[in-house]
Structure 1
């Protein structure tokens, strides 16, 4: 297996704060797979505690990448959270979160978001780098201890897998529609933010969230979710992305405190200490 560590491309980019610029791309695409969207609808507190749910999920996922020797144990915990997430789709089909096809799709969206963010907001990737990132993602996925029968053998296979998913298997599931509801209605007020303050700051915050969320989705998904996006919006998004790419040398030179998420910073510190 291709190891994850300080010299891996995955470590270099997955915990980079620029990942936030692609918005909730991975989360929305996950929920568009019927089995995964239904699992969240039936079992998650996502709809009642959206921000808390996202915060609880982010740490363990980051630790499957940056956990080092603990990555496998962390992956097993993440897997076990999903053991009882099962039920029926509206058509009577049974689903289970640990079905390899469902579980790998969730993982695939994280890989896709990393690739998308790098190429949109940082720099183009070479063919060899894409191969390398995919091989690293296979190591990452295997830390969960879930069957890898749904995992394509190589980068070329993953590209075909991704294309087929977008073209024929994703739907505007109720969970996905809820997750992008703020694009039209605005974000809910975070529990610790006073109402008066939220009224003042929510218009620009909602504008940015709408722009990054809608712009960061594949066109096929925007269409399924009925998210408005014009040619003018696309041109603005491309200009914004180009401006961010021009800052890449400066951002890459920043100290880890400013560039990375806390879990990534801690992993780099441990690696330096060793």
Structure 2
């Protein structure tokens, strides 16, 4: 992980002739969002999102995460990569997501009406990324300095602008974020049915339907043997990389032995991943964007 601060986020908001730009090359997100270690962080962020009753109900009723988990995961990952590495396509992806969410309405488990684009709900979906990054980076990369934490938050706010989140709907400083976050943990989030599914070590997932046909056929044959340990591992990293206060607020069990296992695993990942060549360390869109940026700089 890059440790020195990069250029600040621009903070531009959408106007008649401009669209918000993603965080700049050289920043913290540019270094970590497309690193393969981010794949270990994303399930925790998704779990925090669906811990909000309205968001959990929306995912429960409208998402295809049960019937098409591999396709949904692929689309979600591509979207996240576009927010950071997409250049002009980032704002287009933000508009696409808002259009997609316009039709998502319903009633949550408490009988309350919800709409996916209600500012408080839409902002929470985005806000969860910051504490998950902050916690997981400490384990998988290295702890952020105070300056880096402020920079990461500024960059995350900029991603929010790309997604169409107004500044008035998000805390604008780290100092304002943490009281907001603690209030959400204390008063809003809960162990929804979707949280229970995502953290279940026995979760049933169909075999992958992507990739070469021979590989898919082999995986389909081996899936009854492969699924139990894979599901248990997914549950382990999902709960493990949740910020501890969020884990506690959701009533998710986590023992000292599990914490030791997580730290041993994280230490191995932290040492080994930086040794990989960039073509293996970074996801394809991030790798291409980083190569293009280096080429343009020369």
Preserved CA contact (<8 Å) 2:105 2:114: yes
Is residue 64 of structure 1 aligned with residue 83 of structure 2?
yes
1:52-131 alignment, distance < 5 Å: 52-131=71-150
> Following the alignment from structure 2 to structure 1, what is the Cα–Cα distance between the partners of residues 208 and 155?
36
> Following the alignment from structure 2 to structure 1, what is the Cα–Cα distance between the partners of residues 206 and 245?
26
> Following the alignment from structure 1 to structure 2, what is the Cα–Cα distance between the partners of residues 40 and 148?
25
> Following the alignment from structure 2 to structure 1, what is the Cα–Cα distance between the partners of residues 244 and 206?
25
What displacement does 1:136 show? 0.9
Give 1:197's aligned residue. Answer: 222
Tell me the secondary structure at the aligned position of residue 17 of structure 1.
coil
Most deviating of 256-265 and 20-29: 20-29
Give 2:279's aligned residue. Answer: 257
Most deviating of 190-199 and 163-172: 190-199
1:209-248 alignment, distance < 5 Å: 209-222=234-247, 227-245=252-270, 247=271
Residues 141, 185 of structure 1: alpha-carbon distance in 2 compared, 3 angstrom cutoff:
closer
Tell me the secondary structure at the aligned position of residue 15 of structure 1.
coil
> Following the alignment from structure 2 to structure 1, what is the Cα–Cα distance between the partners of residues 265 and 65?
30
The match for 2:49 among 7, 24, 30 is 30
Is residue 184 of structure 1 aligned with residue 206 of structure 2?
no
CA RMSD for the aligned pairs? 2.3
Preserved CA contact (<8 Å) 1:21 1:212: yes
Preserved CA contact (<8 Å) 2:202 2:232: no
Residues 111, 220 of structure 1: alpha-carbon distance in 2 compared, 3 angstrom cutoff:
closer
Q: Deviations over 1:11-35 (max 9, x none)?
A: 1111111112336101111110111
> Following the alignment from structure 1 to structure 2, what is the Cα–Cα distance between the partners of residues 88 and 212?
30
Give 1:149's aligned residue. Answer: 168
> Following the alignment from structure 1 to structure 2, what is the Cα–Cα distance between the partners of residues 76 and 25?
25
> Following the alignment from structure 1 to structure 2, what is the Cα–Cα distance between the partners of residues 70 and 87?
30
- Structure 1 runs not aligned, ≥5 long: none
Preserved CA contact (<8 Å) 2:47 2:238: no
Give 2:292's aligned residue. Answer: 270
Structure with greater proportional helix content? 1
> Following the alignment from structure 2 to structure 1, what is the Cα–Cα distance between the partners of residues 33 and 135?
11
Give 1:2's aligned residue. Answer: 9
Preserved CA contact (<8 Å) 2:131 2:243: no
Preserved CA contact (<8 Å) 2:48 2:128: yes
Residues 18, 156 of structure 1: alpha-carbon distance in 2 compared, 3 angstrom cutoff:
same
Preserved CA contact (<8 Å) 2:119 2:169: yes
Residues 267, 115 of structure 1: alpha-carbon distance in 2 compared, 3 angstrom cutoff:
same
What displacement does 1:165 show? 1.7
Structure 1 length-normalised TM: 0.88
